Chain A
Amino acid sequence: MADKQTNIEKTQSDQMQTTERSRSQNVFVPPVDIYETDDEVVLLADMPGVEQKNVDITLENDVLTIEGSIESKTPEGYELVWSEYGTGDYFRSFNLSDNIDQSKVNARVTDGVLKIIFAKTEPAKPKKIKVNLE
């Protein structure tokens, strides 16, 4: 649904239409990369201005929700004369697939990018069933 970032406009979240947030900041949808290797599923989300301590990650009922809040830093004593982007908080949620082990999750924020690494569940081992001949 979200396309590759072909323009510089940030996507405003439509989350506002469902539930209201207690903070009145703008909310944006962070662009995300998700890829899968043999052992892991990795998610990367661009949330510039967000520090590690201002990120909330919740996992509930196979739904992953990422939230990032910024501490607004507008330069004092200046006038904004040109604005191509707005600043605000970030919010996005995903349905997780079955092959993720929800107890083994590792998350870190570096330079405004949230990286979450999920370990994949062990593939189900085939069980041999003995047939008893009576």
Chain B
Amino acid sequence: MTEQAAEEPFHDTDRQEQADRLGMLVFLASEIMLFGGIFAATMALRIQHPQDYMKAASHLRLALGTANTAILLTSSLAAALAVEGARSGRSRWAARALAAACLLGTAFLAVKGYEYAGEYREGLMPGTAAAHFSGPLQRLFMDLYFLATGLHAFHVLTGIVLMLTAALNRTALHDRRAVLIGNVALYWHLVDIVWIFLFPTLYLAGVP
């Protein structure tokens, strides 16, 4: 275990670690409000037009969405294992778990991309030439779907980059407090949680 000196303006590393953690939590609160806007919009649409909403949602590929839910949940597990690994001094373990989480995250993006491609072919992607919808509400739903999942995919990408940075950072891997890895994992869990709410909002709503 390597003991670092506290950075300015802290006097001791304990305090600094607590501050880092609190900073990340506050940031995540902010992120939740960001997605809150999207959820508010979907809720408004669903309350105003329940029938059309369900009909439009049924056009999404439930199987792919379910697979992605499993993938992302598993990657969250890997991220949690990475934290445990770092805490118990098994830095190699931590690096591998982070790599696994990154791989699963990439797999999530791949599935998502495949899904998008399918939706493009079906003419369900708004803003493209081939787009054709059964009515304004399907279009509205697909608008929201792409905005929500697109914004989420951007967060997945950010999370992968963050985890890669942590996995390649020797000091972070050997830090038994797991400050950096812990915070990165926290971010990854949020990405996961947002998806857990997006999945029923968008996909499960279409199940009759």
B is bound to A: no
Q: Which residues of B are interface residues toward A (Cβ below 8 A)?
A: none
